[in-house]
């Protein structure tokens, strides 16, 4: 598919097209594509062409909240080189998708609240021309998909997903994803809402649960936490049991991760 068409903003008229083999990927997979570029009306030295993975992140500052963009992977795919007037060239690329890349789609359908994408950057004449963010659909790992489906089966209702600035223990990212649910089924008696966070690696992932625990007659509501690890080669039933134990522990008492 044609992913973007970028015109350099320096009067150079350099055209850049990026074609991805597949914009639906999973963490740990290889994103493959090809960048096509064509010279303008004069010869130019291109310092480099880059592929940039970018996410829109929520930032809390005092009583205020705003959105900003974070680049969490930037890879040079071509350059430096001399681009002759009118000459067409291309460069293939293969970029490993970081394991901690947040989920932005399920079964190929965009996940509400997520803005994650890829931009093609052209470095020319000491300046950088970066285009708009185009969507990249990062689908869950099988183990993540299983837990998401398990929450659906338990009666939790999806609310939204977003990215929050901050680094959690065991993570290398400057932000983390929260997938938010309305409590349902038997868990409605214990929780108002549930937030789910994954910290994925090559062999296993940590799962962090945060619930808004309902208050009683004499007690106000409060947040409670649980954290557990799932190995990708575990039997799915093991992950399901860990999820149920985590929810039960939060329902019983206050815990911190």
Model confidence over 18-57: pLDDT tens digits?
A: 888 888 999 999 999 998 888 887 888 889 999 999 999 9
Rg (CA), the chain: 22
Which is it for the CA torsion 156, 159, 163, 168, positive or negative? negative
The Cα 52–Cα 46 span in angstroms is 17
The Cα 115–Cα 165 span in angstroms is 14
pTM of this structure? 0.87
Nearest of 145, 227, 212 to residue 181 by alpha carbon: 212
Examine the pLDDT at 254 and tell me if it is beyond 70: no
pLDDT score for 13: 73
Per domain, the residue ranges of the chain are: 2-138, 142-252
- Phi/psi-derived region of residue 11, left when phi > 0, alpha when psi is between -120 and 50, beta in every other case: left
**pLDDT, tens digit, for every residue of 129-153?**
776 667 899 999 999 999 999 999 9
**pLDDT, tens digit, for every residue of 214-243?**
654 445 457 899 999 999 999 988 999 999
N-to-C CA span, the chain: 43
CATH topology of domain 2-138: Immunoglobulin-like (2.60.40)
């Amino acid at each position: 598919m044609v992913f973007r068409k970028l015109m350099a903003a320096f009067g150079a008229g350099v055209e850049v097209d990026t074609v991805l083999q597949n914009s639906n990927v999973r963490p740990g997979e290889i994103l493959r594509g090809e960048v096509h570029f064509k010279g303008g009306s004069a010869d130019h030295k291109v310092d480099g062409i880059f592929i940039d993975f970018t996410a829109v992140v929520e930032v809390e500052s005092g009583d205020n909240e705003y959105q900003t963009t974070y680049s969490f992977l930037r890879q040079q795919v071509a350059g430096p080189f001399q681009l002759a007037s009118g000459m067409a060239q291309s460069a293939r690329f293969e970029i490993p998708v970081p394991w901690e890349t947040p989920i932005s789609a399920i079964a190929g359908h965009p996940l509400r609240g997520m803005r994650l994408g890829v931009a093609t950057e052209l470095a020319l004449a000491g300046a950088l021309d970066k285009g708009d963010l185009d969507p990249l659909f990062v689908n869950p790992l099988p183990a993540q998909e299983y837990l998401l489906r398990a929450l659906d089966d338990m009666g939790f209702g999806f609310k939204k997903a977003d990215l929050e600035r901050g680094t959690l223990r065991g993570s290398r990212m400057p932000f983390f994803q929260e997938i938010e649910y309305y409590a349902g089924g038997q868990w409605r008696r214990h929780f108002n809402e549930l937030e789910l966070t994954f910290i994925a690696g090559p062999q296993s992932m940590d799962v962090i649960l945060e619930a808004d625990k309902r208050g009683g007659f004499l007690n106000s509501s409060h947040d409670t936490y649980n954290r557990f690890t799932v190995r990708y080669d575990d039997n799915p039933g093991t992950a399901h049991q860990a999820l149920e134990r985590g929810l039960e522990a939060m329902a019983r008492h206050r815990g911190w991760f």
